[in-house]
Structure 1
């Protein structure tokens, strides 16, 4: 069985979509997610921060659901961040190289697998956005290294700072704690599966890496901002000096006349 997760790069209003899934069995729900059973071994998991996970679902159903959730007629599914894992059955629980081995599939097992994949694909989206910001700031860092200056206006600087802060706020709002379902604490197999999924997907380490990258970007932007402030302060000082000099010259000319 295949499980695939997508991040839609937008928040999902769960209340607004429940009416569209009334024909499916809603087996679990909280303020931040909905878990539906499509058939006996088929599930869909929708997380409010923009992740949707399909387990053992037909391709047509996946494409149709994604189009509905992002409110577009044409499919853009190939451009979305995604994670794909194959599920097989074994006497032991293992997670490795795109495969998840489980003893049996039930609602709790599906919940744990789909929650971890939802978090992972959301992190992938944030990693992509962080890398994009880092690449843009790197351009100005290289300009500063080569020429001692950089081509960046105050408005562009503020936009960069705003994007960085918004990205940090989104991560803090959506992924500030990587919770495990309560059932994972009461069942050894479920706890083992949850731990191995988090370890394989590097969820905590990737989150820390994003935070560190954003802090570096913020430090660079603060430095650029200080340089710009000094540049404008120096320009204002020269303007004042020129104005004073002009006044002095004007007074001298008036006295000579």
Structure 2
């Protein structure tokens, strides 16, 4: 049995029963700063066949290996962990997309923008952190060291990434983040224009007040 824990929140367990799984996950929770609400779980089959004619053979929802060594464990665990984490980040991004969709619908109906500058900046930070987590912490664009050095591990690595569609899902996530950035630029311009309008009105009122005082002085002297 093996358990692999990743700093971005994924845990991969090999050959654990349900009760053992719960027990070991509770141990991991003691070292977590925060927990992601309801955990998402995904099962995948890894079958070991020492007599397999080839190093590995993959099909839908299962991969067969001739040897279950530490490099195969690292490769399979990393892809499974990234897949689960991508689901989590995709949900976050979809929620941000929904926020901007509501804002756009509101502007279409009323012609006004109601989000505060602080809330908008929080969304910007969240989008930036999401992209940084996916690329840096998850290492989604990185290739396994074993896959670089050995063609057999490279085939396992490529099969697993294709099986879980990591490249396509990352492209989809990146596309949505670009949409968010486009909306952010648009609404920042709206806020900036609103601020400029307020400053213009303040200047107009100050000028009007100064003119009013001047007229009063003239009339008073007359």
Shorter chain as denominator, the TM-score bin is: 0.7 to 0.9
Q: Is the 8 A contact 2:82 2:140 kept in 1?
A: no
Matched, 1:80 2:39: yes
Matches within 5 A, 1:94-243: 94-243=57-206
Deviations 1:77-97 (A, max 9, x none): 981133221233564644343
Gaps of 5+ in 1: 1-41
Report the Cα distance in structure 1 between the residues aligned to 2:72 and 2:133, rounded to whole angstroms. 28
Query: Which shows bigger deviation, 86-95 or 169-178?
Result: 86-95
Change (3 A) 1:172 1:181: closer
Query: Which shows bigger deviation, 133-142 or 175-184?
Result: 175-184
Match of 2:217 in 1: 254
Report the Cα distance in structure 1 between the residues aligned to 2:47 and 2:100, rounded to whole angstroms. 44
Report the Cα distance in structure 2 between the residues aligned to 1:70 and 1:138, rounded to whole angstroms. 35
Report the Cα distance in structure 1 between the residues aligned to 2:194 and 2:112, rounded to whole angstroms. 10
Matched, 1:46 2:9: no
For 2:68, what is the secondary structure of its paired residue? Answer: coil
Between structures 1 and 2, the one with greater strand share: 1
Q: Is the 8 A contact 1:54 1:62 kept in 2?
A: yes
**TM-score, normalised on structure 2?**
0.84
For 2:77, what is the secondary structure of its paired residue? Answer: helix
Q: Which has the larger radius of gyration?
A: 2
Q: CA deviation at 1:227?
A: 0.5
Q: CA deviation at 1:109?
A: 2.5
RMSD between aligned residues: 2.4
Matches within 5 A, 1:59-74: 59-71=18-30
Change (3 A) 1:169 1:115: closer
Q: Is the 8 A contact 2:46 2:63 kept in 1?
A: yes
For 1:82, what is the secondary structure of its paired residue? Answer: coil
**TM-score, normalised on structure 1?**
0.74
Equivalences, count: 213
Change (3 A) 1:159 1:108: closer
Between structures 1 and 2, the one with greater helix share: 2
Gaps of 5+ in 2: none
Change (3 A) 1:183 1:242: closer
Report the Cα distance in structure 2 between the residues aligned to 1:240 and 1:185, rounded to whole angstroms. 65
Report the Cα distance in structure 2 between the residues aligned to 1:69 and 1:229, rounded to whole angstroms. 46
